[in-house]
């Protein structure tokens, strides 16, 4: 009798240890690990070359290929001015594992707006969200801000769900100071942060304004890119120190290319940028 009780207890304990972790516990572990390591970061555009592409209306657009960015970049402000504000709205996408993904893998991408990082690579003032999906289809989201070359920092208490509308605003008050604001228009949650340049060599140049989906870095390498479906940036505006407002149609389309394959399909028009996982 005593032996059977002991064996039953051992079997019960083993079943507890072998029980799968809940979704909330896995998410909590990932968030804690991300906060402890502080290794998530965006990188300046990795240029791979340029070309042209034909849009659905037959219009020919110039395209720049990149290893990590997809979207649109205005690569220079009007003469005598600098970019000092960038804003947009976009919906939280539903991400899925890419074709051939491992069920034990993790796949991510980010959507953000920012100042600098293309032709001017010393700094990027930016904010946006990351979307991550496991190989089994479990999704999670993070809201963050960053002044590159510092790492990204997460906003706390900024819940998101697929389909929520996110508003992002980036404002530089000087070359070494700025403010970022994220608002979930679907829930009413708002987060903002005032930042200063992490070093004297990382002041803003105000030379680029962008709306980007990125294959960002975690640790020292890019994350495995998720199939993010489509991210559409709307109400895209870049403002200058001269009081002018420009849209993405005055910029350059950027496509992600990895291992010789173009992974995105980007279009812009007026105040909209659409980035589709191809």
What does the alpha-carbon distance between residue 230 and residue 227 come to, in Å, rounded to a whole number? 9
- Report the C-alpha gap between 232 and 214 in whole angstroms: 14
35/119: higher pLDDT: 119
Where residue 212 falls among pLDDT bands split at 50, 70, 90?
Answer: very high
The helix/strand count (H/E) of the chain reads as 2, 21
User: Which residue would you say has higher pLDDT here, 37 or 84?
Assistant: 84
Q: What integer is the mean pLDDT of 183-208?
A: 98
Question: Which pLDDT belongs to residue 25?
Answer: 44
Mean pLDDT of 256-276: 96
Average pLDDT, integer, range 50-56:
84
Would you call 146 a catalytic residue per the annotation?
Answer: no
Closest residue by Cα to residue 120 from 47, 247, 210, 206: 206
Confidence of residue 60 (pLDDT cuts 50, 70, 90): confident
The residues that bridge with 147 in the sheet, in sequence order, are 125
How close are the terminal C-alpha atoms of the chain, in Å?
A: 64
Q: Give me the pLDDT at residue 35, please.
A: 55
pTM summary value = 0.87
The pLDDT score that the predictor gives to residue 10 is 35
Cβ atoms of 212 and 66 within 8 Å: the answer is no
**pLDDT score recorded for residue 2:** 29
Whether the per-residue pLDDT at 124 is higher than 50: the answer is yes
pLDDT over 90 (residue 31)? no
Structural tokens at position 214: 């990125």
Identify the pLDDT of residue 26.
44
pLDDT score, position 21:
41
pLDDT at 14: 33
Please list, residue by residue across 223-245, b when 16 or more beta carbons sit within 10 angstroms of its beta carbon and e when fewer do. Answer: bbbbbbeebbbbebbbbbeeeee
**Stretch 228-236: mean pLDDT:** 98
Average pLDDT over residues 163-181: 98
Q: Can you tell me the mean pLDDT for 155-176? A: 97
Give me the residue label for tokens 């959507």.
111
Q: Residues with Cβ < 8 Å from 181, sequence gap 6 or more?
A: 127, 167, 168, 169, 171, 190, 191, 192
- Please give the pLDDT value at position 17: 32
Catalytic annotation, pick one of 146, 183, 210, 214: 214
pLDDT digits (tens, 9 = 90+) for 63-98: 999 999 999 999 999 999 999 999 999 999 999 999
At residue 19, the pLDDT reads 37
Question: How confident is residue 38, by pLDDT bands cut at 50, 70 and 90?
Answer: low
The 3-state DSSP class for residue 104 equals coil
Give yes or no for residue 58 having a pLDDT over 90. no
């Amino acid at each position: 009798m005593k032996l059977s009780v002991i064996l039953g207890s051992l079997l019960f304990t083993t079943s507890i240890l072998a029980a799968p972790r809940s979704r909330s516990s896995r998410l909590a572990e990932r968030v804690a690990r991300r906060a402890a390591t502080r290794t998530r970061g965006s990188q300046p555009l990795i240029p791979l070359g340029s070309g042209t592409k034909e849009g659905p209306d037959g219009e020919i657009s110039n395209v720049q290929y990149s290893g990590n960015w997809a979207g649109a970049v205005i690569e220079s402000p009007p003469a005598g001015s600098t970019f000092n504000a960038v804003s947009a709205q976009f919906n939280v996408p539903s991400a899925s594992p890419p074709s051939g993904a491992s069920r034990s893998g993790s796949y991510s991408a980010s959507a953000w707006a920012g100042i600098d990082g293309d032709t001017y690579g010393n700094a990027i003032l930016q904010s946006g969200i990351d979307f991550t999906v496991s190989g089994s289809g479990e999704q999670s989201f993070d809201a963050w801000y960053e002044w590159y070359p510092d790492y990204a920092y997460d906003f706390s208490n900024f819940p998101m769900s697929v389909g929520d509308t996110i508003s992002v605003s980036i404002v530089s008050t000087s070359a070494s100071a700025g403010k970022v604001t994220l608002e979930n228009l679907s829930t009413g949650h708002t987060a903002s942060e005032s930042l200063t340049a992490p070093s004297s060599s990382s002041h803003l140049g105000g030379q680029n304004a962008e709306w980007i989906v990125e294959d960002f870095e975690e640790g020292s390498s890019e994350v495995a890119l998720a199939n993010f479906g489509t991210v559409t940036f709307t109400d895209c505006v870049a403002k200058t120190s001269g009081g002018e407002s420009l849209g993405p149609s005055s910029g350059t389309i950027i496509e992600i290319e990895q291992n010789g394959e173009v992974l995105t399909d980007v279009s812009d028009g007026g105040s909209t940028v659409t980035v589709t996982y191809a």
